[in-house]
Amino acid sequence: MVINLNFLKMIKLHSVKLHKTDTCLTYVLKRIGQYKQEKTYSLKKYNEYFDSEEIDDKTIFKKGDIILWNKRGYEQEFPTEITETGEIISNLIMRNIHIGIIENISESSDIFYSECTRNVNGFEGIPILKLRNINEKRRPDFILKFKLHNDGK
């Protein structure tokens, strides 16, 4: 009989200092030590970085779990580029999709997660950190597991 002990492995969480360009995705990747500055990341393509597992009533969270809110996600077109000649180009951007990371589970079974958000008290556009109880908002839809690439990184 083979016993899978993967659940005993805990992701090491790294300290993070936010920068003006950070998103919820870059924050989580930095927190788990997988952020590469030379790469461009898109939450629209989260399945390139993560495997997902749907959350249900039996899901047991643990520190370091990456959580995703996605069931209400949609794409919306926004102007995000300008050409050399001044032509504005719009691209589809994902909306209402968000990730965070489980930080702590208290003795009273309260589950806390951290997130990088840009929509807080009139400071829209500036990334800030929040620590929340998982029951404070709509429960997440998925747990994400970081995919190791062929080079082991």
Residue 9 lies in a domain: no
pLDDT at residue 121 tops 80: no
Residue 5 lies in a domain: no
Task: Output the pLDDT for position 123.
Answer: 62
Residue 41 lies in a domain: yes
Residue 71 lies in a domain: yes
Residue 30 lies in a domain: yes
Residue 74 lies in a domain: yes
Domain CATH for 29: 3.90.1720
Segment among 1-10, 46-55, 85-94 with least mean pLDDT: 1-10
Residue 24 lies in a domain: yes
Q: What is the pTM of this model?
A: 0.79
Q: Are 146 and 46 in contact (CB under 8 A)?
A: no
Task: Output the pLDDT for position 152.
Answer: 43
Convert the pLDDT of each residue in 9-49 to its tens digit.
556 899 999 998 899 999 999 999 999 988 888 887 888 88
Residue 55 lies in a domain: yes
DSSP letter string, 91-142: EEEEES-EEEEEEEE-TT--EEEEEEES-STT-TTS-EEEEEETTSSSPPSE
Number of domains in the chain: 1
Q: Are 46 and 99 in contact (CB under 8 A)?
A: yes
The CA distance from 24 to 46, in Å, is 11
- Per-residue b/e over 99-120, b at no fewer than 16 CB within 10 Å? bbbbbebeeeeebbbbbbbeee
Q: How far is CA 75 from CA 41, 70, 78, 130, 147, in A?
A: 16, 12, 10, 25, 24
Band of the pLDDT at 8, cuts 50, 70, 90? very low
* Conformation bin of residue 96: beta by default, left when phi > 0, alpha when psi is -120 to 50: left
Which structural domain range is residue 135 located in? Answer: 14-146
Convert the pLDDT of each residue in 88-117 to its tens digit.
999 888 888 899 999 988 877 789 999 998
